[in-house]
Each structure stands twice: as structure tokens, then as C-alpha cells.
Amino acid sequence: MKKVFNAKEFLKEMILLHIGLIITAAGTYFFLVPNDIAAGGVSGLAMVIQPYIPNLSIGLLMTLMNLVLFVVGFVFIDSSFGAKSVYASFAFSLMVWIMEKTMPMSKPFTDDLLIELLFGSLLCAVGIAIVFEQNASTGGTDIVAKILNKYAHIELGKALLIVDLVITILATYTFGIKKGMYALLGVIILGIIIDVVISGLNDYKKVEILSTEGEKIKKFIIEELDRGATLYIGKGAYTNEEKEIINTVLDKKQFIKLKKFIHETDRKAFIITYNVHETLGEGFKSLSN
């Protein structure tokens, strides 16, 4: 079945994609680059390889590696991911370039390398997580992480950690133990925070409701919250009465609205909630992502 283009959904994805790219670019430009921290990625790999191939610049090496990885992304993930990643990679580079021209950095903000690393890693992790959630990447090793996530079912943060860990070990050999240890710490922080952010972005509430005002609640869920619901028939162990159970999955804002509505409609209603960390299918995240 051919997927129908949704302009509103596409606009939302592009806005979130650019927010993620801006956050990642800020973390990279303002904190990691001024301190020469090669915390994985294609840029880190290029920095490791370049001394052994001095005739090729780091920029050229990054371009060549990204081209190969973009092709891999198109083949092993999907064309949408590949196209978005190509766009995101160029947009990311443009954002860093704009920051260089408008807010030149002659030196780091502080002389505390650990603080700079923590802020840079935190911003990059949040930004990359948002980009991943739009079925895209900033290019480079993010694409390899996405492939590991799709085929080996490894969480994105951990997949990125595995890939960048190898690069960081090589960087330690090339640039020295101190820079290597800081870069390794940055990679670990990045991987952990990416998974935490992605989990938070995908959190939903599964709600089961027993109420004498079931018809009003069903109508509110369908018409006001624009969500579906599944109905079950249960029997009370004490009364042996059959009761209708309304089952639905909502995001946090929708759950707050529903809880308020039920409070106003039937204060004797019985509600059970479960935290759901990922919901796939119609109305939620696509099964293909």
C-alpha cells in the first residue's frame, strides 16, 4: 500500500530535524572542536587516518567516507533515510560554517576540558537523538549505528557507542592517552544520553478505564484526542457483573487531558496506566523506521 504524503507531518519532521541539527552543531562547534576532542564519528576517523595519508585533507577524507556511507544508507536502510541523511549532513556542515563566520571561537569558553566535554557531549547527544527520531542522521558513523539498530536490534545509543569506540581507540594511539581518554568519555556519555533521550521522546501511556460513563469517555478519546480505543468485556470478581474496559494508548499531553475529563465526568472511574517505551503503527511511529 502506497504511503500518502502528509504535509503537516512532513513539516513537523523538518522543523524537528533542523532543531536537532542546530543543537548538534552548537555542541560540536562551541565545545568539542575548540578542545580538539575527536569523540568518534567520521571527523574523528579522518583525523586518525590523515597523518598516514598526508596528501589527502581531513575534509576530503570526510567527504569520501560520507559518500560511501550514504550509499550504504540508501541500500541497507531505505531511500527516505538516505535522502534525509544527505540533506542533514550538508545542512549540519552549513550550520557549523555559519557559526564559524558569525561567532568565531579563538579559544575554548573555559580552561576546564572536562566541563567542555560534558556540555559538548550532552548537546550533541540530544541533537543526534532528535535527528534519529526523524528517520535521518547527520551522516558518518550515525548511518552504521542505524544499520546495527535495524538488523542487530541494538539500541541506537549503544550502536553508536560500539562504532565510535573503535575510532576513539585509534585516536588514542594517534593523539595520545590524555586526549584519547577524554574522547572515550565523550563517546560513552553520547551513547548513554542518546538512548535516554530517544526513550523519553517515545514514551506513551497505555490506559485501561472502567467507568459508568464509558460512552462519553470513548467519544472524548476518538473525537477530542483523535485516538483509537479497544474495548474488552470483563467480569467483576465480587459482583460477577460484566463491565466494559476501554483500552487506549496516548502521549503524555493527551493522557493529562483524558485524566482531567474523566475526573470531571466520573470521579468513581477506575483507571490503570502503564508506561510504554515504544509504540509502532498507524497514528504512531512508522513500523519501517
Task: Give how far Cα 247 sits from Cα of 24, 45, 201, 224, Å.
Answer: 38, 49, 22, 16
**Quick one: which of 238, 248, 242 has its CA closest to 271?**
248
Determine the average pLDDT of the residues in 242-259. Answer: 91
Check residues 165 and 281 and name the one with the higher pLDDT.
Answer: 165
pLDDT (average), residues 133-153: 83
Residue 34 neighbours by CB distance under 10 Å: 15
Q: What is the pLDDT of residue 265?
A: 94
> Of 163, 11, 169, 31, which Cα lies nearest the Cα of 107?
31
Other beta carbons within 10 Å of 230: 10
For residue 223, the model assigns a pLDDT of 92
- CA–CA dist 82, 139 (Å, integer): 9
Phi-psi region of 270 (alpha: psi -120 to 50; beta: other; left: phi over 0): beta
pLDDT at 43: 67
- Top-confidence range, 67-71, 168-172, 198-202, 272-276: 272-276
**pLDDT confidence of residue 180:** 78
Q: Can you give the pLDDT at residue 1?
A: 44
Q: Which set of grid coordinates corresponds to residue 28?
A: 560540536
Q: What percent of the chain has pLDDT over 90?
A: 27
CA 212 to chain centre: 41
Q: Is the confidence at residue 2, as pLDDT, over 60?
A: no
pLDDT at residue number 282: 65
* Residue 17: count of CB within 10 angstroms of its CB: 20
The Cα–Cα gap between 261 and 46 comes to 56
Q: How far are the Cα atoms of 74, 162, 164, 195, 286 from residue 144, in angstroms, in the given order?
A: 12, 10, 10, 16, 20
